[in-house]
Amino acid sequence: MALAEHESNPKLSLRRRLAVALHLPAVPFWMISAGLIAVALSWIPLALIARARTSLSDKPRIQLMQDMGVQPRYGPQAGSAVFADGRAMRLPVAGTVARGRVEDDDHFDRGYALAADPQTGATEVVYFQGLPARLTADRPGVERLLARGQTLYNIYCAPCHGVDGYGHGPVNERALELEEPTWVPAASLHTEQTRGRADGYLYNAIRNGVRTMPSYGSQIETADRWAIVAYLRALQKSQHAGMDDVPPQARETLR
C-alpha cells in the first residue's frame, strides 16, 4: 500500500522511488555533496597536467620516476679517487677510431705515404701528386669540386693570400699597414716554388699548417681540403697558362 502511494506521487524523485522499491535507505544529502565535490576535485590534477603540457616554464620539469635522470656522476674535469691518476675523465683506448673517421687511404686522408729509402733504409715522406681518384671519377663531380673549392678558398685562404692568390688579402694588407712587428707577410701562391709543390704537400699545409700558417684541419673536412687544392691549381693555371693549354679551336680567338 505504501509502495503504491509512493508510485502514484509524482513529486517523489526517481532516486527515492528506487530506494523505496529496493527497500534501501535514502542517501544522506551530505554524502551526495561530498561525492560531487570529490568528482570536481579529481579534475584539478588533470587540468594542471593539461596546462603544463601546453605552457612554457623556466623551471625544471617534475619527474616522478627518477630512473637514471638523477644519479651520482662526475662533472667535467673533475677528480676521482677511483683511478690511479686521479682523473674522472678517461682517455680513449689506444687505437680508438671515431665512427666514420677511419683513415685507411693514404692519398685521400693524409696526402702522403711513408716509404723506406732503398739506400739508407730511413723512412721518408712521399707526397702524392694529383687528386684522389674518388674525387675525379666524372666531369660533373670535378666541376662541383672546383666550385666548392672556390667557395672555401674565398672563406679561409683569401683573407691572407688574396682572391687572386698573390698575397694581397685584406688581413695581410691591414697588418702591413699597422706595421705589426710579429706579422709575417702572406706568401704568393703563384711562385715557382709553390707551383712546384706536390698536391699532397698543399693538402697537408691546409690540414696541419705550415710555418706561421695555422692548421685548418678542425675546420675543413677532408674532401673540402682537396677541393681547395683543386681550385688553387686552377687559379695557378689561370695565371701561368701557355699556348699548349689552350684548346686548338680557341687559339684563333686570342690576340
Q: Is residue 119 part of a domain?
A: no
Closest CA to 172 of 154, 157, 192: 157
Identify the pLDDT of residue 200. Answer: 94
Q: Which residues are CB-contacts of 211 (< 8 A; sequence separation ≥ 6)?
A: 184
Identify the pLDDT of residue 228. Answer: 95
Tally of domains within the chain: 2
Identify the pLDDT of residue 24. Answer: 60
User: Where do we find the cell 535507505?
Assistant: 25
Identify the pLDDT of residue 202. Answer: 94
Mean pLDDT check: name the lowest of 4-18, 85-99, 103-117, 166-180. 4-18
Q: Is residue 85 part of a domain?
A: no
Most confident of 5-9, 11-15, 196-200: 196-200
User: How sure is the predictor about 129, in pLDDT bands with cuts at 50, 70 and 90?
Assistant: very high
Whether the pLDDT of residue 123 is over 80: the answer is: yes
Mean pLDDT value of segment 134-147? 86
CATH code at position 181: 1.10.760.10
CA 191 – CA 179 distance, rounded (Å):
24
Q: Is residue 82 part of a domain?
A: no
CA 93 – CA 116 distance, rounded (Å):
29
Under DSSP, is residue 28 helix (H, G, I), strand (E, B) or coil?
Answer: coil
Closest CA to 230 of 176, 151, 159: 151
Q: Is residue 222 part of a domain?
A: yes
Whether the pLDDT of residue 12 is over 60: the answer is: no
Whether the pLDDT of residue 38 is over 80: the answer is: yes
Q: Is residue 47 part of a domain?
A: yes
User: How sure is the predictor about 242, in pLDDT bands with cuts at 50, 70 and 90?
Assistant: confident
Whether the pLDDT of residue 46 is over 70: the answer is: yes
CA 230 – CA 163 distance, rounded (Å):
15
Whether the pLDDT of residue 21 is over 70: the answer is: no
Containing 200, the helix (H) or strand (E) segment is helix 199-208
146 CA to centre of own chain: 24
Identify the pLDDT of residue 1. Answer: 44
Closest CA to 214 of 222, 224, 226, 206: 206
Q: Is residue 34 part of a domain?
A: yes
The DSSP line for 125-178 is: EEE--S--GGGSSSHHHHHHHHHHHHHHIIIIIHHHH-TTSSS--HHHHHHHHT
Instruction: Report pLDDT digits (tens) over 48-60.
Output: 888 888 888 888 7
Contact yes or no for 75/86 (Cβ under 8 A)? no
**Antiparallel, parallel or unpaired: β 112-116 and 123-127:** antiparallel
Q: Quick one: what percent of the chain has pLDDT higher than 70?
A: 89
User: How sure is the predictor about 154, in pLDDT bands with cuts at 50, 70 and 90?
Assistant: very high
Mean pLDDT value of segment 23-45? 84
Report the sign of the C-alpha dihedral through residues 230, 231, 234, 240, in that order. Answer: negative
Whether the pLDDT of residue 167 is over 50: the answer is: yes
Q: Is residue 153 part of a domain?
A: yes
Instruction: Report pLDDT digits (tens) over 101-117.
Output: 788 888 999 999 988 88
Whether the pLDDT of residue 141 is over 70: the answer is: yes
Burial of 231 (0-12, 13-18, 19+ CB in 10 A): buried
Domain residue limits at 16: 2-53
Q: Is residue 80 part of a domain?
A: no
Q: Is the pTM here over 0.75, yes or no?
A: no
